[in-house]
Amino acid sequence: MMLKQTIAALLLLATSYAKTPRPIANVGINMGDGKKQLLTAYKGKVVLFAIMATTCDHCLASLAFLDKLQKEYGAKGFQAVVAIGDENAPFMLVPFKQRYKLSLPVGYLTKEEMQKIGDIPLDKRPFVPIYMFIDRTGTVKFQYYGDDPFFNDEVRATTVIVQNLLR
């Protein structure tokens, strides 16, 4: 019971950092093959969209967990998607994919695309990773920046949110 109360408190605290709920922006994620993937294409699924940097140790440590989450909940209607947002992301994407061999879609975003999809003000530079939890209707229900208390217990908090959104 205490865990649920702690996570509920974190959710309430964190929602003040981002405008939620809101519809997901119609921004395509560059998949490196010349195609763009819209998050709206996953309507009907619960989506965890993670924006990361290839130089962020926390981001890289989270990859294995996101991949495990995808394998565990994918058949239940869950989809994890990762986008790297480094300045040279178009050139880093292929080596990144080859190195981590993830079972989930990985692409990249430009700075402008990150700001639009993450509803990030132009004057703000949030910490990565950025997690956006999107419900089956395409609504961003929760959004967390890397410096948010949510990430103090990222695995447990993420799992609880995904399980609740899948219900």
Mean pLDDT of the chain: 90
Question: Residue 70 above 60 pLDDT?
Answer: yes
Say whether 53 sits in a helix, a strand or coil.
Answer: coil
Predicted TM-score of the model (pTM): 0.89
pLDDT at 164: 97
Question: Residue 54 above 50 pLDDT?
Answer: yes
The CATH fold assigned to 2-166 is Glutaredoxin (3.40.30)
**Of 1 and 33, the one with more pLDDT:** 33
pLDDT at 19: 85
| pLDDT grade for 18, boundaries at 50, 70 and 90 | low
pLDDT, mean of residues 133-143: 97
pLDDT at 13: 46
Do 97 and 32 contact (CB within 8 A), yes or no?
Answer: yes
Residues 6+ apart with CB under 8 A from 83: 29, 49, 50, 51, 52, 106, 107, 108, 109, 114
pLDDT at 37: 96
User: What are the pLDDT digits (tens) for 96-123?
Assistant: 999 999 999 999 999 999 999 999 888 8
